[in-house]
Amino acid sequence: MEIIFDIIQNISIIVASAVAVWGINSWRREAKWKRKYEVAEEVLSLFYECREKFQVIRSPFGYEGEGKTRKRSEQATPEETARLDSAYVFLSDMKKKKNHSIGYKL
């Protein structure tokens, strides 16, 4: 009779150990995917935030005389000057509305 109790005890220890290992592995897989999900969600929200910032920084409407404070090259053609002025306006707008939470630097 004692042998039967020893066998049952050993089997129950083996079953309990297997269930514990299975539970720990399940928890690790869940924690891993949860972290990946959190990172993906954070990245997506930062992309949306960047998109909104760019829409605010540079609207499609321009103002007369924008970019005139830029240093000009004497050899630039009028077309190049206009293109560089519009790019300068974009960069100066970014500097004005820079948000340190995103972490970009100019």
Residue pLDDT, tens place only, 71-90: 666 777 777 777 777 677 76
Q: 9: helix, coil or strand?
A: helix
| φ, ψ at 33 (rounded to 5°) | -70, -30
Spacing of C-alpha 96 from chain mean position: 23
pTM of the model: 0.42
The reported pLDDT for the residue numbered 105 is 47
Between vectors from CA 11 to CA 2 and to CA 13, what angle results, nearest 5°? 105
Over the chain (106 residues), the average pLDDT of each successive run of 10 is: 92 95 95 93 92 71 61 72 70 63 48
**Token digits of residue 29:** 């897989």
The reported pLDDT for the residue numbered 34 is 94
